[in-house]
Amino acid sequence: MNREHGLEEASEPSPAAHQSEDLCCGGVDKRNKVVAFKFGGSSLLGAERMLHAARLVRQAAKVSKVAVVVSAMKGVTDHLLSIEKALLAGKLVHARREAEVALGLHLEVLEDLRLDEETDRRMRHELELLGHDLLHEVLSWKDGAASGESSDRLASFGERLSARLFAAALQQLGLAAVPVTSSEFVLTCDTFRHAQPHLQQSRQRGRKILLPLLEERAVPVVTGFIGATPDGRITTLGRNSSDFSGAIVAYVLEADELVIWTDVDGIYTANPQESAEAQLLHELSYDEAHALARGGAKVLHPKVLPLAAESEMVVWVRNTFNPQARGTRIGPPGDLSDALLSGGAA
């Protein structure tokens, strides 16, 4: 990451909050509105950022039902895949040490979250159990490089660890939050590393798991990136695919909107970290966003768009570190208030 982020408290976590916080609007109880928030790896890097992101969720949860999808903390998936490389090179001791480093990193974040003693103890136990599974994965490694099956199991630990930590951050702020491993409902083919989800089956299974949580006003914190074959083998949907997982969860829940929270103010004409001329785009159609994503705009995974278009959900790309900015709206043509905002809020 090439710039420092100030973490101001958000006053507008979701474009839904452009509206007032009245709970009734034309007879419709806005608390029944469902939004899916996806947080990328840089938004989750460390306890301070997790708590900041959790405040955005808390704010939105005042007026909507919120489901969260998380990436691994920034750098963790690369780290896990470097363990695979070490294993393939026969460097078992190194691989084992790096697995311990990965667990240690998450335990440090846990400590920095400063949970109450009881929750901290429970969380530590949960993370250590996952760490134990990770170590077991390393020690029982069988070279399955061709199929990618072992690789996906290894890579899945990043999101499994971050989902638990993020749920703890939400609990720390007083919200009921439940970590959900997406392999419980995102059913995929067995093309490891690039698995394709079976959307209808995932939808059916996902609704059974997620809807009761939303009904209780608990926030499900779902792992991005991960699915499973029908016989229960963990798969991943491709690098950078947690955005797609966000869209899958939004689709499963028939969410009104999906917000991709990232580290820039929205989608630009070019990578704003690389080009001083890059212009923020306020409003895009699904096709326009798809073309930009396919053209390499890493800020949004291209697979989000066809799914969003099919279910006509509005997708926002917003900056976790600058939540006052409106972000980019992708969807059917906006109403007048959106059009006015898009001219004024950048």
Residue 42 is a binding residue for ligand ADP (CB under 6 A): yes
158 binds ligand ASP (CB under 6 A): yes
HEC secondary structure over the chain: CCCCCCCCCCCCCCHHHHCCCCCEECCEEHHHCEEEEEECHHHHCCHHHHHHHHHHHHHHHCCCEEEEEECCCCCHHHHHHHHHHHHHCCCHHHHHHHHHHHHHHHHHHHHHHCCCHHHHHHHHHHHHHHHHHHHHHHHCCCCCCCCCHHHHHHHCHHHHHHHHHHHHHHHHCCCCEEEECHHHCCEECCCCCCCCECHHHHHHHHHHHHHHHHHCCCEEEEECCEEECCCCCEEECCCCCHHHHHHHHHHHCCCCEEEEEECCCCCECCCCCCCCCCCECCEECHHHHHHHHHCCCCCCCCCHHHHHHHHCCEEEEEECCCCCCCCEEECCCCCHHHHHHHHHCC
* Residue 147 near ligand ADP by CB under 6 A: no
Choosing among ligand ADP, ligand ASP, Mg ion, none, which partner's interface includes residue 224 (Cβ < 5 to 8 Å by kind)? ligand ASP
Q: Note whether 40 binds ligand ADP by CB under 6 A.
A: yes
- Interaction between residue 272 and ligand ADP (CB under 6 A): yes
Mark the segment that binds ligand ASP (CB under 6 A) among 146-154, 238-246, 273-281, 337-345.
238-246
Q: Which of 14, 43, 59, 71 binds ligand ASP (CB under 6 A)?
A: 71
Contact between 298 and ligand ADP by CB under 6 A: the answer reads yes
Nearer Cβ to ligand ADP (48/190): 48
- Residue closer to ligand ASP (CB basis): 39 or 316: 39
241 binds, among Mg ion, ligand ASP, ligand ADP, none (CB under 5 to 8 A by kind): ligand ASP
Q: Which of 64, 172, 240, 262 binds ligand ASP (CB under 6 A)?
A: 240
Interface residues toward Mg ion, by CB under 5 A: 40, 240
Q: How many residues bind ligand ASP (CB under 6 A)?
A: 11
User: Using CB under 6 A, which of 271, 279, 324, 337 touches ligand ADP?
Assistant: 271
Q: Site residues (CB under 6 A) for ligand ASP? A: 41, 71-72, 77, 158, 224-225, 239-242
Binding site for ligand ADP (CB under 6 A): 40-43, 71, 240, 262-264, 267-268, 270-273, 292, 297-299
